Amino acid sequence: MQLINFLSNLAMPLIILLIVTYGLLEKNKVFDDFLEGAKEGIGMVVNILPTLIGLFVAIGALRNSGILDMIIRFIAPLLNVIHFPSEIMPLAMLRPISGSGSIAIATDIMKNYGVDNTIGIMASTIMGSTETTLYTIAVYTSSVKIKRTRFVLLAALAADVVGIVTSVVICQMLV
pTM summary value: 0.65
Q: How many other CB atoms sit within 10 Å of the CB of residue 96?
A: 24
At 47-82, the pLDDT tens digits run 878 877 877 787 778 778 888 888 888 998 998 899
What is the helix (H) or strand (E) element at residue 111, kind and residue range?
Answer: helix 99-113
**pLDDT tens string 99-149:** 877 888 888 899 899 999 999 999 999 999 998 888 788 778 877 878 777
Nearest alpha carbon to residue 94 among 137, 135, 53: 135
Instruction: Note the pLDDT of residue 160.
Output: 93
User: DSSP class of residue 87?
Assistant: G
